[in-house]
Amino acid sequence: MLSCRPLIGQLLGRQFQRHASRSAAVKLLDQRYVELTPSSDARPLKFPSVWLRDNCQCSECFHGATRARKSHWERGPLHAKAQAVSYDEQRQQLVINWQDAHNSSYDLEWLRQRDFSAEARQRYLNDVYRPSAQLWGKTQFGEVTREFRYGDVIAQDAVLCAWLEALAVQGFALLREAPDDVQVARRLAERIGYIKRTTYGDVFEVKSKPNAGNYAYLMTPLPMHTDMPYYEYKAGINILHTLVQSDSPGGANTMTDGFFVAQRMREEHPKYFELLRSVPVNWYDIGHDGDAGKPFHSLWRAPVICLDVDGQVVRINQNATKRDSRFTVPLEQVVEWYEAYDKFLQLVHDESVQFKTRGGDVFVFNNLRMLHGRTAYEDSPKNKRHLVGAYVDWDIIYSKLRTLKFPNAKD
Protein backbone atom coordinates (compact mmCIF):
# COMPACT_ATOMS: atom_id res chain seq x y z
CA MET A 1 0.00 0.00 0.00
CA LEU A 2 1.15 3.50 -0.75
CA SER A 3 2.01 5.84 2.05
CA CYS A 4 0.50 9.28 2.25
CA ARG A 5 3.64 11.22 1.32
CA PRO A 6 3.33 13.13 -1.97
CA LEU A 7 4.15 10.62 -4.66
CA ILE A 8 4.27 12.53 -7.88
CA GLY A 9 7.14 11.28 -10.00
CA GLN A 10 7.24 7.96 -8.19
CA LEU A 11 4.43 6.41 -10.14
CA LEU A 12 4.23 4.31 -13.24
CA GLY A 13 7.19 3.56 -15.36
CA ARG A 14 9.92 4.95 -13.14
CA GLN A 15 11.81 1.68 -13.28
CA PHE A 16 12.38 2.15 -17.00
CA GLN A 17 13.97 5.58 -16.81
CA ARG A 18 17.55 4.34 -16.59
CA HIS A 19 17.13 2.75 -20.03
CA ALA A 20 15.84 5.87 -21.68
CA SER A 21 19.09 6.90 -23.36
CA ARG A 22 19.38 3.66 -25.35
CA SER A 23 17.94 3.53 -28.81
CA ALA A 24 14.23 2.92 -29.23
CA ALA A 25 12.35 1.04 -31.96
CA VAL A 26 8.96 2.02 -33.38
CA LYS A 27 6.70 -0.06 -35.60
CA LEU A 28 3.34 0.54 -37.22
CA LEU A 29 1.38 -2.71 -37.04
CA ASP A 30 -1.31 -3.16 -39.68
CA GLN A 31 -2.18 0.57 -39.47
CA ARG A 32 -4.10 -0.16 -36.26
CA TYR A 33 -1.38 -0.22 -33.59
CA VAL A 34 1.87 1.54 -32.87
CA GLU A 35 4.49 -0.47 -31.02
CA LEU A 36 7.23 1.40 -29.23
CA THR A 37 10.16 -0.45 -27.67
CA PRO A 38 11.91 2.21 -25.58
CA SER A 39 15.22 0.28 -25.47
CA SER A 40 16.49 -3.04 -26.70
CA ASP A 41 15.83 -4.81 -23.38
CA ALA A 42 12.55 -3.08 -22.39
CA ARG A 43 9.11 -4.55 -22.90
CA PRO A 44 7.37 -3.05 -25.95
CA LEU A 45 4.55 -0.57 -25.34
CA LYS A 46 1.62 -1.01 -27.72
CA PHE A 47 -1.02 1.65 -28.39
CA PRO A 48 -4.02 1.68 -30.74
CA SER A 49 -3.60 4.29 -33.50
CA VAL A 50 -7.14 5.55 -32.96
CA TRP A 51 -6.39 6.18 -29.27
CA LEU A 52 -3.18 8.02 -30.15
CA ARG A 53 -4.99 10.29 -32.58
CA ASP A 54 -7.82 10.83 -30.10
CA ASN A 55 -5.27 11.91 -27.51
CA CYS A 56 -3.00 14.06 -29.67
CA GLN A 57 -1.40 16.60 -27.33
CA CYS A 58 -0.83 19.38 -29.86
CA SER A 59 -2.41 22.76 -29.13
CA GLU A 60 -4.86 22.31 -31.99
CA CYS A 61 -6.23 19.09 -30.44
CA PHE A 62 -5.72 19.63 -26.71
CA HIS A 63 -6.07 22.61 -24.39
CA GLY A 64 -3.32 22.06 -21.82
CA ALA A 65 -4.43 24.66 -19.28
CA THR A 66 -7.84 23.04 -18.79
CA ARG A 67 -6.69 19.47 -19.60
CA ALA A 68 -9.47 19.31 -22.15
CA ARG A 69 -9.73 17.62 -25.54
CA LYS A 70 -10.54 20.16 -28.23
CA SER A 71 -10.87 17.69 -31.10
CA HIS A 72 -13.45 15.03 -31.94
CA TRP A 73 -16.45 16.84 -30.53
CA GLU A 74 -18.75 15.91 -33.39
CA ARG A 75 -17.13 12.82 -34.82
CA GLY A 76 -14.66 10.28 -33.43
CA PRO A 77 -11.11 9.77 -34.74
CA LEU A 78 -11.82 6.25 -36.01
CA HIS A 79 -10.81 6.88 -39.60
CA ALA A 80 -7.54 8.76 -39.00
CA LYS A 81 -4.68 6.66 -40.38
CA ALA A 82 -1.01 6.89 -39.45
CA GLN A 83 1.38 7.29 -42.38
CA ALA A 84 4.74 7.18 -40.65
CA VAL A 85 5.99 6.62 -37.12
CA SER A 86 9.37 7.45 -35.62
CA TYR A 87 11.09 8.15 -32.33
CA ASP A 88 12.87 11.39 -31.50
CA GLU A 89 15.76 10.33 -29.24
CA GLN A 90 16.66 13.90 -28.34
CA ARG A 91 13.22 14.82 -27.07
CA GLN A 92 12.27 11.27 -26.07
CA GLN A 93 9.07 11.51 -28.05
CA LEU A 94 7.07 9.23 -30.28
CA VAL A 95 6.28 11.10 -33.51
CA ILE A 96 3.39 10.23 -35.82
CA ASN A 97 2.65 11.71 -39.21
CA TRP A 98 -0.96 11.11 -40.12
CA GLN A 99 -2.39 10.65 -43.63
CA ASP A 100 -4.41 13.85 -43.31
CA ALA A 101 -1.13 15.79 -42.85
CA HIS A 102 -1.62 16.24 -39.08
CA ASN A 103 1.48 15.59 -36.91
CA SER A 104 1.50 14.36 -33.31
CA SER A 105 4.24 13.83 -30.76
CA TYR A 106 3.99 12.11 -27.37
CA ASP A 107 6.46 12.17 -24.48
CA LEU A 108 7.75 8.71 -23.56
CA GLU A 109 6.92 9.26 -19.89
CA TRP A 110 3.36 10.32 -20.77
CA LEU A 111 2.97 7.14 -22.84
CA ARG A 112 4.37 4.93 -20.09
CA GLN A 113 1.80 6.31 -17.65
CA ARG A 114 -0.92 5.24 -20.09
CA ASP A 115 0.49 1.78 -20.80
CA PHE A 116 -2.33 -0.66 -21.62
CA SER A 117 -0.61 -3.67 -20.03
CA ALA A 118 -2.57 -5.45 -17.30
CA GLU A 119 0.04 -4.64 -14.62
CA ALA A 120 0.19 -0.94 -15.46
CA ARG A 121 -3.59 -0.63 -15.48
CA GLN A 122 -3.89 -2.39 -12.12
CA ARG A 123 -1.17 -0.19 -10.65
CA TYR A 124 -3.01 2.94 -11.73
CA LEU A 125 -6.34 1.69 -10.39
CA ASN A 126 -4.84 0.85 -6.97
CA ASP A 127 -2.50 3.82 -6.63
CA VAL A 128 -4.51 6.67 -8.11
CA TYR A 129 -8.09 5.63 -8.74
CA ARG A 130 -8.97 3.98 -5.42
CA PRO A 131 -6.98 2.01 -2.85
CA SER A 132 -8.22 -1.57 -2.77
CA ALA A 133 -10.33 -2.54 0.21
CA GLN A 134 -8.98 -4.95 2.82
CA LEU A 135 -11.97 -7.08 3.77
CA TRP A 136 -12.11 -8.36 7.32
CA GLY A 137 -14.10 -10.72 9.50
CA LYS A 138 -14.75 -10.65 13.23
CA THR A 139 -11.44 -12.31 14.15
CA GLN A 140 -9.40 -9.64 12.31
CA PHE A 141 -11.03 -6.65 14.02
CA GLY A 142 -8.00 -5.95 16.25
CA GLU A 143 -5.51 -5.88 13.42
CA VAL A 144 -7.59 -3.64 11.11
CA THR A 145 -8.51 -1.03 13.73
CA ARG A 146 -6.85 2.33 13.05
CA GLU A 147 -6.83 5.17 15.60
CA PHE A 148 -5.87 8.82 15.17
CA ARG A 149 -5.93 11.90 17.37
CA TYR A 150 -8.65 14.37 16.35
CA GLY A 151 -6.27 17.34 16.73
CA ASP A 152 -3.71 15.68 14.41
CA VAL A 153 -6.33 15.08 11.71
CA ILE A 154 -7.30 18.75 11.85
CA ALA A 155 -3.73 20.10 11.96
CA GLN A 156 -1.64 17.72 9.82
CA ASP A 157 -2.26 16.84 6.18
CA ALA A 158 -0.28 13.59 6.50
CA VAL A 159 -2.57 12.40 9.32
CA LEU A 160 -5.67 13.49 7.40
CA CYS A 161 -4.39 11.46 4.45
CA ALA A 162 -3.70 8.39 6.60
CA TRP A 163 -7.18 8.63 8.13
CA LEU A 164 -8.91 8.85 4.73
CA GLU A 165 -6.78 5.96 3.48
CA ALA A 166 -7.92 3.86 6.46
CA LEU A 167 -11.55 4.68 5.67
CA ALA A 168 -10.98 3.55 2.08
CA VAL A 169 -9.04 0.39 2.95
CA GLN A 170 -10.27 -0.90 6.32
CA GLY A 171 -13.66 0.83 6.02
CA PHE A 172 -13.62 2.56 9.42
CA ALA A 173 -11.39 4.37 11.89
CA LEU A 174 -11.57 5.83 15.38
CA LEU A 175 -10.55 9.35 16.25
CA ARG A 176 -9.67 10.04 19.89
CA GLU A 177 -9.55 13.15 22.09
CA ALA A 178 -12.04 15.32 20.24
CA PRO A 179 -13.23 18.33 22.26
CA ASP A 180 -16.61 18.41 23.97
CA ASP A 181 -18.10 20.52 21.18
CA VAL A 182 -21.12 19.93 18.95
CA GLN A 183 -19.17 21.32 15.96
CA VAL A 184 -16.64 18.43 15.83
CA ALA A 185 -18.51 16.35 13.20
CA ARG A 186 -19.04 19.41 11.01
CA ARG A 187 -15.39 20.44 11.37
CA LEU A 188 -14.20 17.00 10.26
CA ALA A 189 -16.56 17.02 7.26
CA GLU A 190 -15.29 20.44 6.24
CA ARG A 191 -11.69 19.35 6.78
CA ILE A 192 -12.33 16.74 4.07
CA GLY A 193 -14.38 19.04 1.86
CA TYR A 194 -18.12 19.46 2.07
CA ILE A 195 -20.72 18.12 4.43
CA LYS A 196 -23.56 16.18 2.83
CA ARG A 197 -26.98 17.61 3.53
CA THR A 198 -29.85 15.16 3.81
CA THR A 199 -33.48 15.23 4.85
CA TYR A 200 -32.15 15.10 8.41
CA GLY A 201 -30.18 18.33 8.03
CA ASP A 202 -26.43 18.81 7.71
CA VAL A 203 -25.40 17.69 11.19
CA PHE A 204 -27.79 15.50 13.12
CA GLU A 205 -28.07 14.72 16.79
CA VAL A 206 -28.54 11.16 17.96
CA LYS A 207 -30.14 11.13 21.36
CA SER A 208 -33.26 9.72 22.87
CA LYS A 209 -36.11 11.96 21.81
CA PRO A 210 -39.75 11.85 22.83
CA ASN A 211 -42.04 11.30 19.81
CA ALA A 212 -39.04 10.17 17.75
CA GLY A 213 -39.54 10.31 13.98
CA ASN A 214 -36.67 7.91 13.35
CA TYR A 215 -35.96 4.57 15.00
CA ALA A 216 -32.38 5.68 15.75
CA TYR A 217 -33.76 8.25 18.16
CA LEU A 218 -35.16 5.59 20.50
CA MET A 219 -33.26 3.81 23.30
CA THR A 220 -34.15 0.33 22.00
CA PRO A 221 -31.44 -1.78 20.31
CA LEU A 222 -30.69 -0.57 16.81
CA PRO A 223 -30.38 -3.56 14.45
CA MET A 224 -27.46 -3.78 12.01
CA HIS A 225 -28.04 -1.48 9.07
CA THR A 226 -26.57 0.95 6.61
CA ASP A 227 -27.87 4.52 6.63
CA MET A 228 -30.09 5.76 3.83
CA PRO A 229 -30.60 2.76 1.56
CA TYR A 230 -33.58 4.82 0.33
CA TYR A 231 -31.26 7.32 -1.41
CA GLU A 232 -29.80 6.87 -4.87
CA TYR A 233 -27.01 9.17 -3.63
CA LYS A 234 -26.44 7.39 -0.37
CA ALA A 235 -24.16 9.08 2.16
CA GLY A 236 -20.56 7.86 1.77
CA ILE A 237 -19.21 8.01 5.31
CA ASN A 238 -20.86 8.51 8.64
CA ILE A 239 -19.00 10.63 11.22
CA LEU A 240 -20.37 9.91 14.69
CA HIS A 241 -19.00 12.01 17.53
CA THR A 242 -19.74 10.75 21.03
CA LEU A 243 -20.24 13.74 23.33
CA VAL A 244 -21.82 11.77 26.16
CA GLN A 245 -21.77 7.99 26.34
CA SER A 246 -24.34 6.07 28.32
CA ASP A 247 -23.33 4.97 31.83
CA SER A 248 -25.79 2.09 31.47
CA PRO A 249 -24.35 -1.26 30.28
CA GLY A 250 -25.71 -0.60 26.76
CA GLY A 251 -25.12 1.98 24.08
CA ALA A 252 -22.27 -0.03 22.54
CA ASN A 253 -21.59 0.11 18.81
CA THR A 254 -21.90 -2.98 16.66
CA MET A 255 -20.33 -3.25 13.22
CA THR A 256 -19.85 -5.78 10.41
CA ASP A 257 -17.83 -5.50 7.20
CA GLY A 258 -20.64 -5.94 4.66
CA PHE A 259 -18.18 -6.44 1.77
CA PHE A 260 -16.64 -9.36 3.67
CA VAL A 261 -20.08 -10.89 4.23
CA ALA A 262 -20.90 -10.41 0.53
CA GLN A 263 -17.66 -12.19 -0.36
CA ARG A 264 -18.55 -15.08 1.94
CA MET A 265 -22.01 -15.25 0.35
CA ARG A 266 -20.45 -15.34 -3.12
CA GLU A 267 -18.10 -18.17 -2.17
CA GLU A 268 -20.26 -20.23 0.19
CA HIS A 269 -23.82 -19.58 -1.03
CA PRO A 270 -23.60 -18.57 -4.71
CA LYS A 271 -27.32 -19.01 -5.39
CA TYR A 272 -28.25 -16.75 -2.50
CA PHE A 273 -25.58 -14.26 -3.55
CA GLU A 274 -27.10 -14.11 -7.01
CA LEU A 275 -30.55 -13.36 -5.54
CA LEU A 276 -29.26 -10.62 -3.23
CA ARG A 277 -27.30 -9.09 -6.09
CA SER A 278 -30.17 -9.10 -8.58
CA VAL A 279 -33.52 -8.74 -6.78
CA PRO A 280 -34.36 -5.08 -6.15
CA VAL A 281 -35.73 -4.19 -2.74
CA ASN A 282 -37.90 -1.12 -2.07
CA TRP A 283 -36.28 1.12 0.55
CA TYR A 284 -38.30 4.00 1.93
CA ASP A 285 -38.36 6.84 4.38
CA ILE A 286 -41.53 8.84 4.87
CA GLY A 287 -41.93 11.46 7.54
CA HIS A 288 -40.46 14.74 8.69
CA ASP A 289 -37.46 15.57 10.83
CA GLY A 290 -38.64 16.96 14.13
CA ASP A 291 -41.92 18.72 14.75
CA ALA A 292 -41.35 21.62 12.39
CA GLY A 293 -39.20 19.75 9.86
CA LYS A 294 -40.02 19.65 6.18
CA PRO A 295 -41.89 16.53 5.10
CA PHE A 296 -40.03 13.93 3.01
CA HIS A 297 -40.95 10.89 0.96
CA SER A 298 -37.75 9.10 -0.08
CA LEU A 299 -37.81 5.93 -2.21
CA TRP A 300 -35.02 3.93 -3.84
CA ARG A 301 -35.17 0.48 -5.35
CA ALA A 302 -31.92 -1.49 -5.20
CA PRO A 303 -30.60 -4.92 -4.26
CA VAL A 304 -28.98 -5.67 -0.89
CA ILE A 305 -25.65 -6.30 -2.66
CA CYS A 306 -24.76 -3.85 -5.45
CA LEU A 307 -21.93 -4.66 -7.90
CA ASP A 308 -19.96 -2.41 -10.21
CA VAL A 309 -19.04 -3.02 -13.84
CA ASP A 310 -16.11 -5.27 -12.78
CA GLY A 311 -18.34 -7.41 -10.55
CA GLN A 312 -16.89 -5.93 -7.34
CA VAL A 313 -19.22 -5.17 -4.43
CA VAL A 314 -19.67 -1.39 -4.19
CA ARG A 315 -22.64 -0.91 -1.92
CA ILE A 316 -24.61 -2.80 0.70
CA ASN A 317 -28.22 -1.87 1.41
CA GLN A 318 -29.73 -3.18 4.62
CA ASN A 319 -32.04 -1.54 7.07
CA ALA A 320 -34.93 -3.53 8.49
CA THR A 321 -36.67 -0.36 9.65
CA LYS A 322 -36.47 1.21 6.17
CA ARG A 323 -37.44 -1.80 4.07
CA ASP A 324 -40.82 -1.15 2.50
CA SER A 325 -43.67 -3.65 2.75
CA ARG A 326 -44.16 -2.85 -0.93
CA PHE A 327 -41.95 -5.38 -2.74
CA THR A 328 -42.41 -4.77 -6.43
CA VAL A 329 -40.91 -7.97 -7.83
CA PRO A 330 -42.68 -10.96 -9.43
CA LEU A 331 -44.47 -13.10 -6.86
CA GLU A 332 -42.29 -16.17 -7.51
CA GLN A 333 -39.10 -14.32 -6.49
CA VAL A 334 -40.26 -13.43 -3.02
CA VAL A 335 -39.82 -16.64 -1.02
CA GLU A 336 -36.38 -17.49 -2.36
CA TRP A 337 -35.25 -13.89 -1.80
CA TYR A 338 -36.25 -14.18 1.89
CA GLU A 339 -34.18 -17.39 2.15
CA ALA A 340 -31.14 -15.58 0.77
CA TYR A 341 -31.73 -12.53 2.98
CA ASP A 342 -32.00 -14.76 6.04
CA LYS A 343 -28.57 -16.27 5.33
CA PHE A 344 -27.12 -12.80 4.76
CA LEU A 345 -28.44 -11.52 8.12
CA GLN A 346 -27.09 -14.60 9.86
CA LEU A 347 -23.59 -13.98 8.47
CA VAL A 348 -23.83 -10.26 9.34
CA HIS A 349 -24.58 -11.30 12.91
CA ASP A 350 -21.82 -13.95 12.98
CA GLU A 351 -19.18 -11.47 11.74
CA SER A 352 -20.20 -8.52 13.91
CA VAL A 353 -17.90 -6.86 16.43
CA GLN A 354 -18.89 -4.80 19.44
CA PHE A 355 -17.17 -1.88 21.15
CA LYS A 356 -18.25 1.11 23.19
CA THR A 357 -17.00 4.58 22.38
CA ARG A 358 -16.19 7.08 25.11
CA GLY A 359 -16.92 10.79 25.28
CA GLY A 360 -14.47 12.46 22.85
CA ASP A 361 -14.35 9.52 20.45
CA VAL A 362 -15.38 9.94 16.84
CA PHE A 363 -16.34 6.70 15.10
CA VAL A 364 -16.17 7.11 11.32
CA PHE A 365 -17.08 4.42 8.82
CA ASN A 366 -17.87 3.73 5.19
CA ASN A 367 -21.65 3.74 4.99
CA LEU A 368 -21.64 1.93 1.63
CA ARG A 369 -19.77 -1.00 3.20
CA MET A 370 -20.16 -1.26 6.98
CA LEU A 371 -23.33 -2.35 8.70
CA HIS A 372 -23.61 -0.72 12.09
CA GLY A 373 -25.95 -0.84 15.04
CA ARG A 374 -26.20 -0.12 18.74
CA THR A 375 -27.16 -2.09 21.83
CA ALA A 376 -30.06 -0.87 23.98
CA TYR A 377 -29.28 1.66 26.70
CA GLU A 378 -31.01 3.69 29.35
CA ASP A 379 -30.74 7.41 30.00
CA SER A 380 -30.94 8.74 33.53
CA PRO A 381 -31.59 12.31 34.67
CA LYS A 382 -27.81 12.77 35.12
CA ASN A 383 -26.62 10.84 32.09
CA LYS A 384 -28.14 11.31 28.65
CA ARG A 385 -26.35 9.60 25.77
CA HIS A 386 -25.58 12.22 23.11
CA LEU A 387 -23.96 11.81 19.69
CA VAL A 388 -23.64 14.27 16.82
CA GLY A 389 -23.27 12.96 13.28
CA ALA A 390 -22.48 14.23 9.81
CA TYR A 391 -22.05 12.67 6.37
CA VAL A 392 -19.55 13.16 3.55
CA ASP A 393 -19.74 11.66 0.05
CA TRP A 394 -17.02 9.41 -1.33
CA ASP A 395 -16.52 11.59 -4.42
CA ILE A 396 -15.33 14.33 -2.06
CA ILE A 397 -13.20 11.96 0.04
CA TYR A 398 -11.39 10.29 -2.88
CA SER A 399 -10.77 13.68 -4.44
CA LYS A 400 -9.25 14.98 -1.19
CA LEU A 401 -7.16 11.82 -0.82
CA ARG A 402 -5.73 12.27 -4.35
CA THR A 403 -4.92 15.93 -3.83
CA LEU A 404 -3.02 14.95 -0.67
CA LYS A 405 -1.14 12.09 -2.35
CA PHE A 406 -0.48 13.84 -5.68
CA PRO A 407 -0.37 17.58 -4.96
CA ASN A 408 1.41 18.26 -8.25
CA ALA A 409 -0.73 16.07 -10.50
CA LYS A 410 -1.33 17.69 -13.86
CA ASP A 411 -3.07 14.98 -15.83
| Residues forming the site for Zn ion (CB under 5 A) | 56, 58, 60-61
CB of 66 to Zn ion, least distance (A): 16
Q: Which is nearer to Zn ion, 5 or 69 (CB)?
A: 69
Q: Which is nearer to Zn ion, 75 or 294 (CB)?
A: 75
CB of 227 to Zn ion, least distance (A): 48
CB of 74 to Zn ion, least distance (A): 16
Please state, in angstroms and rounded to a whole number, the distance separating the CA atoms of residues 240 and 220.
Answer: 18
CB of 35 to Zn ion, least distance (A): 21
CB of 61 to Zn ion, least distance (A): 3
Q: Which is nearer to Zn ion, 60 or 350 (CB)?
A: 60
CB of 9 to Zn ion, least distance (A): 26
Which burial class, exposed, middle or buried, applies to 298 when counting CB atoms under 10 A from its CB (0-12, 13-18, 19+)?
Answer: middle
CB of 95 to Zn ion, least distance (A): 12
Question: CB neighbours of 289 closer than 8 A, spacing ≥ 6?
Answer: 199, 200, 201, 213, 214, 296
Q: Which is nearer to Zn ion, 54 or 247 (CB)?
A: 54
Q: Which is nearer to Zn ion, 21 or 86 (CB)?
A: 86
Q: Which is nearer to Zn ion, 40 or 103 (CB)?
A: 103
Q: Which is nearer to Zn ion, 71 or 170 (CB)?
A: 71
CB of 409 to Zn ion, least distance (A): 23
Q: Which is nearer to Zn ion, 60 or 100 (CB)?
A: 60
